[in-house]
A and B are shown apart, each in its own frame.
Chain A
Amino acid sequence: MNFLGITDPIRFTFDIVNFFLIYSMLSISMNLDYGFAGIPNLGKVMFFAMGSIVTGALSLRLLSVISGVQLIDFVTQNISYSMTISVWLSQHPFISIGVVFILVALSAIISGLMGLLVSFPAIRLKETYLAITLLVTGELLRVIASYYPPLIGGTVGTHIPDFFSWVGIGRIHDATLILFIAAFTFLSYYISRILVLSPFGRIMRGHRDNEDALSSLGKDPTYVRSRTLFISSAIAGIAGSLYAIYSGSVNASDFIPDKTFILSLIIVIGGMANVNGPLIGSFIYIMLDRIIRQVKFYITVPFDVNYLSIGIMGIILLLFFFFRPKGILPEKPIILKFQPVPKEKNNES
């Protein structure tokens, strides 16, 4: 069976669902920064990259200590080591689960701390400086990851052992992996929901709408920015780690700034500062992207269709800005469930 170049429809669906989950997590993180707090995080891909790098650099090294498989030449031989360790892991389900949770947690913490660290030089400055610093730092991380082989194998990338080899092989394995990722996506959705409805969520919106008014009410904008960046970067780090675990490899060429742009596109399509916006936006983006990729089986053009994709995404974003700037799901006004009752003045005379 070969329909539109899809040989295995179930596998194809799994891939789409996985991309949807990863992009949802990343855009939830972007929505916290850009939608709610108004921080132009143009280096979002850096935190995603950090999660992937932590997972890629540590998974084999950690497991080699536990399993006793010697890593003699990490850079060139990592594919055979990851195969050996995958076989070993299929006999040790508890170690697999333990290590995978440690890796995801480490990715979250390191990315979050990186968010704090990166925001430090520019955090007291205007948003343009913050955006430039984040963008440039992301590029620097990509350059280091591509040209420093011991980290994640340089330009060829590194492989990650299969942590779910104990489940079995085939569909059931993929389904377990998807469920594992879905659990984290749900968790990050839930965190963003709680955060946005909390008093801190209102401070975040205040920071976005009027920084001066916020500081006049005694809230420090610097504190809002660093805290938001910590939480959102941790979520992005988890997404990066899960992406690396799903695809079984890490490659520095994935961390181009275009990813950040795609995330802002998702936010703009779905609806800025709406908790459900990232989900709708990711769904539409994934569908659009897949349609553009499948179209090349119908039409013949004298160039690579993938190059057209980023241009179309740019045009879509501008069209949304011009004709529907609030996105598909507009931001909801804040309604407090428990309106604070004004105190009656007793000593009125």
Chain B
Amino acid sequence: MIPSDLLMNALTYSNMLVLMSLGLTFSYITLKVPNFAQGDFIAIGAYIAYTSYIFWNLHPYLSIPSAFLISGGISLLMFLFIFSPLSKKGFKVTDLMIAYFAAEMIIRSALLIYTDYMQRTFSKYFSNILIPLNQVRVGDYSIPFPLLISSILTITILFSFLIVLNYTKLGISLRAAIQNPELAKTYGVNVERVYAISWFLAGGITGMTGPVIVTFFPTDPNIGWTFLVRIFAASIVGGIDSLLGAVIGGFFVGISEVTGIYVLSQPPIGLQPVYRVAIPFILMIIALLFMPRGIVSSIDRAIIRLREKK
């Protein structure tokens, strides 16, 4: 029997994975290159929350809007000044990936310098940070605060996307620009602006998880790498170019990682919990072998096949 603590943990973790992979999808659909700096937005968000917690005693969850704006802004700047010019110069996907890698190094270097500087100047603990929070009582149940906030965030974001993408002009032009940039241009959609918005959202949504992560998971500037593996796994399992895929993949990978390692670390197998990163990895390999375009497109294809048979 899986204890309820573990399920709550798994749910918090999956909520955050969903948001992170949504972010990855938003940047992937523009230039068709996975953004390796995606994980670093988490660290940026986490450090914004931690800094305001330490200096102004601000509750970490009150920093979620500023984390959204700042990491979204950094993501937008990256797009406007690095990736958009490079892709216009005719760099191929392979080269763009290396450029993304370079951007990731610059951000991580800045974060490492920031933490080292803060630690030396203010003699406060800045690496491996965790802000402990109390549980929230809802009626008779006590719910961990991170679970509550991450669920609210995920549901709000998903609903607002559902509305924006289906019923507003911005959302429709976004979808058009992503599906067929040339055709969208002829219809007068400013593709460049749409891509910029997409990149802002990509950084912002992932950055928003930072303040939640810092209350849930010990964080240091290298946390981007820790999560990048899971983000990629979730995106590939769900389907890297679909927003629904990010949601499905995030929940699938998150829940199977947390519950899977719990089951595997129990007596009959007794695996050490540090190997939990192997679970998203194995899921990713299975997905690549059997449904390389993700769960969503496999379901789509199955539906099409069924219709054809009828």
Decide: A129 near B236, CB < 8 A? Known: A40-B94, A42-B97, A303-B117.
yes
Partner of B91, one of A135, A307, A309, A325: A325
Measuring CB to CB, which residues of chain B are less than 8 angstroms from any residue of chain A? Answer: 32-34, 36, 82, 85-86, 89, 91-95, 97-99, 101-106, 108-110, 112-113, 116-117, 120-121, 225, 229, 232-233, 236, 240, 272, 274-275, 277-278, 281, 284-285, 288-289, 292
Q: Of the listed stretches A156-164, A237-245, A312-320, name the one at the interface; the rest are far from the partner chain.
A: A312-320
B-contact 0/1 string along A139-177, CB 8 Å cutoff: 110011001000000000000000000000000000000
Q: Contact between B120 and A318 (Cβ–Cβ < 8 Å)? A: no
Write out the residue numbers on chain B whose beta carbons fall within 8 Å of the beta carbon of A136.
229, 232-233, 281, 284
A284-315 at interface with B (beta carbon < 8 Å): 302-304, 307-315
Main secondary structure of the interface of B (DSSP, over half): helix
Interface size bracket, A side:
35 or more
User: Main secondary structure on chain A at its contact with chain B?
Assistant: helix
Whether A303 and B233, one on each chain, are in contact in the complex, defined by CB atoms closer than 8 angstroms, is no
Q: What residues of chain A have their CB less than 8 Å away from a CB belonging to chain B?
A: 34, 38-40, 42, 121-122, 124-129, 131-133, 135-137, 139-140, 143-144, 147, 208, 257-258, 260-261, 264-265, 268, 302-304, 307-315, 317-318, 321-322, 325
Tell me which of A133, A139, A258, A317 contacts B288 (CB under 8 A): A133
Given contacts A42-B101, A127-B94, A318-B102, contact A311 B274 (CB under 8 A): no
Cβ of A268 and Cβ of B98 under 8 Å apart? yes
Taking CB atoms, residues of chain B closer than 8 Å to A303 are 113, 116-117, 120
The reply to whether A308 and B109 contact each other, CB–CB distance below 8 Å, is yes
Knowing A128-B32, A310-B108 are in contact, say whether A140-B98 is a contact too (CB < 8 A). Answer: no
Contacts of B101 in A (CB 8 A): 42, 260-261, 264
**A to B CB contacts below 8 Å, 21 in the list:** A122-B288, A125-B288, A129-B292, A133-B285, A137-B281, A140-B277, A140-B278, A144-B278, A208-B94, A261-B105, A264-B101, A268-B98, A311-B106, A313-B105, A314-B103, A314-B104, A314-B109, A315-B102, A315-B106, A321-B99, A322-B85
**Within 8 Å CB of B106, what residues of A?**
311, 314-315, 318
Please judge, given known A-B contacts A139-B277, A147-B274, A308-B113, whether A128 and B93 are in contact too, CB under 8 Å.
yes
